[in-house]
């Protein structure tokens, strides 16, 4: 009857619910379909901690990262790291930070206990490393964990021992101010996770790399890393990142880097970038820090790669160690559970800033210093009356077949010289014959006035800074310099010079220098080539190419720019049209011309025996005047210098 309440039948209700939701409703004590279904329960804290530890503790290097970050947040000035068996059996991090009292140490082992934030809004301005309060309890739940700590206001320290998440003891102990944490038998209580760890060598590599990253990020902190009783590196506090790179990565990497410092609005970029021509086969030496935290970020990586386009070969990567400082409110460091990745509020703005800073710095490094160092003017004693006069340029003495003067004659005395020798020198004895100072060759002239200095010259040219010693291979030139020996790749240098000549031609607005061909070259085109050629005809003429239409789909090349060989002018235009067709034409004339020139310079000397000495001297002079003489158009080095000190190191004596 309508309006009459129906009697509730639980069997009928269960049956209807089962039909609606397509799964059986299980009552207590019932086993549908002959199978038992477990009840929903709250996990014990110990099990929950061990499961949650997987978000923070993936492998031993994650433990090291959390412990080192805690030490840095505690204001440590000395951090010592020790591990054995890749960190699986033993890992220790000890510091001299502020330390903790016993009640604070016990509180630090509770989940979500932190001193870094109070409100959810504090996440927008996090400036410390650890802030979620999960690291220590997660580590203690899956290992044998011993914490020793003492604050500056306590007379004795505290020791807390936890094994697999269970408290064993908490007692007083003696120790200096700071914190010492030992983590051993990692994942012994969770064997399912332990079997997924890599080999000891792999885990050790990760530990060493992470230690170096934090040492690099904090040059003012002394870092020591010990593996199985063997010290891997010990780096005292340094004044700069370059000094820290030299200590932990070696002089080779440090010498290949140059400093960078750029400011724009709220962004500040500092660090080290590779010099032109320096590259690596992997991204391992592209290291980024955001507000002191080592991170992985595609925005920064792509900005660096784009900034080094044309400065490193394709498929290789520039070394770069960059520190980006910005407002904590515009970067989210809580994206990844292990805080390896960050997210910027305005990715495009960060990318534009980093890209602009690197491009500016690379152009500064690529510009050669064309100032020629002048020899220091010294004083010598005149042989006749002992008067002090300016010393003669040794290069001038060599030119006249004379030997240079001794150190005493230049007004300096060797420490082991007896007084009689000094007196004899002042009297004009033991003084080699030199041209008369009153002669027209040296009278009133300092060393810089005898010869007009220049950069490149032949082997016996006394005025040249770079002297050609020889060409042991067709494309290799060897030069002596005041600082060592230079090995120069001639074809790579030729490619760089020709490319910049094209760029100069594209930029110049005045009439270019042209050369007429002895016999005009016919140029036959199809419909697409004719369309692309017509679209670029005015620009090609502004470069110095003289093209005249000679019938349908036919043109005649009558002149070309002076920077291209007349025999290569036609093939250059054919390459240009081929590239334009591949890219669908358009208004990218400069890009097409650049690629066409790169093709030309790649095989311009394939059928030649090599460069003559005059061509080499002219080519190197042009190279040193380029905007970027250090690399070819593909980013490979054009030359490198072996310093004099390297020879002295190998010979173990002065040269």
Going by C-alpha positions, the residue among 256, 644, 652, 649 that lies closest to residue 483 is 644
Contact 101, 75 (CB under 8 A): no
Q: What is the pLDDT at residue 303?
A: 92
Q: Which residues contact 366 (CB under 8 A, 6 or more apart)?
A: 276, 311, 627, 628, 629, 630, 631
Buried b (16+ CB within 10 A) or exposed e, 557-587: bbbbbebbebebbebbbbbbbbbbeeeebee
| Check whether domain 455-655 has CATH 3.40.718.10, yes or no | no
Going by C-alpha positions, the residue among 199, 193, 123 that lies closest to residue 164 is 193
Q: How far apart are CA 470 and CA 146, in angstroms?
A: 67
Helix (H) / strand (E) containing 137 = helix 135-141
Q: How far apart are CA 620 and CA 622, in angstroms?
A: 5
Structure tokens at 604: 């311009």
**CATH hierarchy code of domain 46-233:** 3.30.565.10
Give the model's confidence band at 213: pLDDT under 50 very low, under 70 low, under 90 confident, else very high: very high
Q: How far apart are CA 90 and CA 183, in angstroms?
A: 6
Q: How far apart are CA 324 and CA 362, in angstroms?
A: 18
Q: How many CB atoms lie within 10 A of CB 386?
A: 12
Q: How far apart are CA 123 and CA 328, in angstroms?
A: 9
Contact 641, 485 (CB under 8 A): yes
Locate the domains of the chain by residue range. Answer: 46-233, 256-366, 378-451, 455-655
Going by C-alpha positions, the residue among 260, 235, 259 that lies closest to residue 246 is 235
Mean pLDDT, residues 138-158: 90
Q: How far apart are CA 601 and CA 496, in angstroms?
A: 9
Of residues 368 and 429, the one with the higher pLDDT is 368
Mutual angle of helices 241-248 and 200-217, in 10-degree steps: 160
304 conformational bin, left if phi > 0, alpha if psi -120 to 50, beta if neither: alpha
* CA dihedral of 295, 301, 302, 306, whole degrees rounded to 10: 150
Q: What is the pLDDT at residue 118?
A: 56
Cite the DSSP H helix spans in 257-388.
Answer: 298-307, 347-366
For 146, 441, 631, the CA distances from 175, given in Å and listed in that order, are 14, 78, 57
Top mean-pLDDT range of 32-36, 292-296, 449-453: 292-296
For residue 69, pLDDT over 60 is answered with yes
Q: How far apart are CA 420 and CA 430, in angstroms?
A: 11
Q: How far apart are CA 554 and CA 480, in angstroms?
A: 52
Q: How far apart are CA 28 and CA 39, in angstroms?
A: 9
Q: Give per-residue pLDDT as tens, 17-47.
A: 444 444 444 444 444 444 556 778 777 766 6
For residue 335, pLDDT over 80 is answered with no
Give the model's confidence band at 631: pLDDT under 50 very low, under 70 low, under 90 confident, else very high: confident
Q: Which of 156-165, 316-325, 414-423 has the weakest average pLDDT?
A: 414-423
Q: Which residues contact 585 (CB under 8 A, 6 or more apart)?
A: 528, 531, 532, 535
Q: What is the pLDDT at residue 586?
A: 61
Mean pLDDT, residues 621-634: 87
Top mean-pLDDT range of 46-50, 130-134, 154-158: 154-158
Q: What is the pLDDT at residue 413?
A: 40
**CATH hierarchy code of domain 256-366:** 3.30.230.10
Q: How far apart are CA 98 and CA 351, in angstroms?
A: 38
SS3 for 578? helix
Mean pLDDT, residues 156-183: 92
Q: Give per-residue pLDDT as tens, 516-571.
A: 888 888 888 887 888 888 888 887 887 788 888 877 778 888 898 877 778 778 88
The chain-wide mean pLDDT, for the chain, equals 77
């Amino acid at each position: 009857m309508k309006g009459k309440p129906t009697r509730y039948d639980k069997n009928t209700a269960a049956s209807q619910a089962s039909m609606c939701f397509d799964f059986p409703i299980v009552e207590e004590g019932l086993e549908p379909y002959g199978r038992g279904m477990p009840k929903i329960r709250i996990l014990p804290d110990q099990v929950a901690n061990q499961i949650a530890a997987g978000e923070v503790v993936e492998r031993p290097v994650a433990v090291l990262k959390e412990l080192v970050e805690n030490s840095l947040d505690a204001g440590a000035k000395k951090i010592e790291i020790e591990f054995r068996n890749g960190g699986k059996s033993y890992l220790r991090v000890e510091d001299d930070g502020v330390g903790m009292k016993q009640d604070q140490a016990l509180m630090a082992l509770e989940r979500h206990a932190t001193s870094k934030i109070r409100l959810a809004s504090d996440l927008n301005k996090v400036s410390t490393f650890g802030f979620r309060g999960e690291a220590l309890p997660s580590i203690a739940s899956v290992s044998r964990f011993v914490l020793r700590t003492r604050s500056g206001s306590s007379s004795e320290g505290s020791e807390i021992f936890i094994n697999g998440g269970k408290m064993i003891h908490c007692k007083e102990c003696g120790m200096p101010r700071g914190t010492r944490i030992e983590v051993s038998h990692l994942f012994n209580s969770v064997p399912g996770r332990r079997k997924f760890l890599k080999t000891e060598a792999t885990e050790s590599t990760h530990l060493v790399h992470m230690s170096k990253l934090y040492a690099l990020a904090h040059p003012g902190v002394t870092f020591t890393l010990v593996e199985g009783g063997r010290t891997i590196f010990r780096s005292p506090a340094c004044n700069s990142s370059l000094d820290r790179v030299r200590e932990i990565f070696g002089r080779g990497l440090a010498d290949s880097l140059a400093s960078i410092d750029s400011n724009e609005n709220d962004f500040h970029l500092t660090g080290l970038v590779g010099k032109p021509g320096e590259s690596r086969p992997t991204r391992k030496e592209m290291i980024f820090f955001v507000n002191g935290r080592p991170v992985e970020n595609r925005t920064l990586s792509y900005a660096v790669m784009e900034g080094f386009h044309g400065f490193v070969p394709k498929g290789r990567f520039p070394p770069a160690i960059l520190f980006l400082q910005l407002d904590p409110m515009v970067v989210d460091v809580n994206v990844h559970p292990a805080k390896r990745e960050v997210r910027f509020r305005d990715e495009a703005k960060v990318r534009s800033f980093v890209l602009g800073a690197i491009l500016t710095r690379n152009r500064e490094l690529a510009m050669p210093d064309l100032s020629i160092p002048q020899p220091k003017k010294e004083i010598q004693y005149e042989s006749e009356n002992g008067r002090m006069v300016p010393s003669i340029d040794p290069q001038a003495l060599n030119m006249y077949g004379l030997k240079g003067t001794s150190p005493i004659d230049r007004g300096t005395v060797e420490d082991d010289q007896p007084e009689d020798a000094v007196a004899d020198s002042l009297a004009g004895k033991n003084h080699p014959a030199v041209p008369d100072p009153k002669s027209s060759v040296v009278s009133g002239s300092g060393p810089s006035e005898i010869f007009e200095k220049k950069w490149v010259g032949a082997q016996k040219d006394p005025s040249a800074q770079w002297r050609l010693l020889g060409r042991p291979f067709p494309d290799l030139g060897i030069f002596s310099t005041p600082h060592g020996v230079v090995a120069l790749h001639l074809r790579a240098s030729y490619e760089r010079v020709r490319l910049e000549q094209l760029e100069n031609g594209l930029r110049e607005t005045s009439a270019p220098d042209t050369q007429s061909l002895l016999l005009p070259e016919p140029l036959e085109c199809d419909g697409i080539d004719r369309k692309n050629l017509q679209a670029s005809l005015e620009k090609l003429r502004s470069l110095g190419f003289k093209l005249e239409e000679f019938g349908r789909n036919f043109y005649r090349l009558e002149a070309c720019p002076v920077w291209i060989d007349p025999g290569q002018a036609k093939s250059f235009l054919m390459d240009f049209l081929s590239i334009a067709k591949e890219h669908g034409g358009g208004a990218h004339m400069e890009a097409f011309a650049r690629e066409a020139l790169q093709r030309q310079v790649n095989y311009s000397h394939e059928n030649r025996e090599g460069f003559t000495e005059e061509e080499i001297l002219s080519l190197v002079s042009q190279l040193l005047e380029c905007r970027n003489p250090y690399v070819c158009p593909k980013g490979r080095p054009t030359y490198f210098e072996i310093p004099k000190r390297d020879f002295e190191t190998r010979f173990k004596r002065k040269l």
